[in-house]
């Protein structure tokens, strides 16, 4: 089975978490998607780039989620979500996926 890049997992967690929360109107379900994908991505980061990199990328993932809220007030919800998801995906690719 092909490995899914951690960049895809992380970006999907942010976009999917928001989408699930919005469409079901249950923030807890969206949070579960966000946390689940984040845990999978963190495990991949640890395996591919080590503990320090995994910690930094996990912090970036959480910061992106938190930062999407004030950003959404300026640019709209979906553009904010896609923007921060792209930033996390780029960081993840650069640190953990590029050489794998």
- Per-residue pLDDT band for 3 (boundaries 50, 70, 90) equals confident
pLDDT of residue 1: 46
CA distance 74 to 14: 18
Confidence class for position 100, pLDDT limits 50, 70, 90: low
Q: How far apart are CA 32 and CA 75, in angstroms?
A: 25
Q: Which positions ≥6 away from 34 have C-beta within 8 Å?
A: 13, 14, 16, 17, 18, 65
What are the tens digits of pLDDT across the range 4-38?
Answer: 999 999 999 999 999 999 999 999 999 999 999 99
- Rounded to two decimals, the pTM is 0.93
Q: Give the pLDDT of residue 93.
A: 97
DSSP code of 33? H
């Amino acid at each position: 089975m092909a490995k899914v890049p951690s960049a895809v997992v992380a970006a999907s967690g942010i976009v999917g978490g928001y989408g699930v929360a919005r469409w079901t109107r249950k923030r807890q379900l969206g949070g579960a998607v966000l946390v689940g994908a984040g845990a999978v991505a963190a495990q991949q980061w640890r395996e591919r780039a080590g503990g320090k990199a995994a910690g930094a990328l996990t912090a970036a993932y959480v910061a992106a989620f938190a930062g999407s809220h004030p950003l959404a007030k300026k640019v709209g919800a979906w553009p904010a979500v896609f923007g921060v998801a792209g930033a996390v995906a780029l960081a993840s690719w650069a640190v953990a996926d590029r050489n794998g």
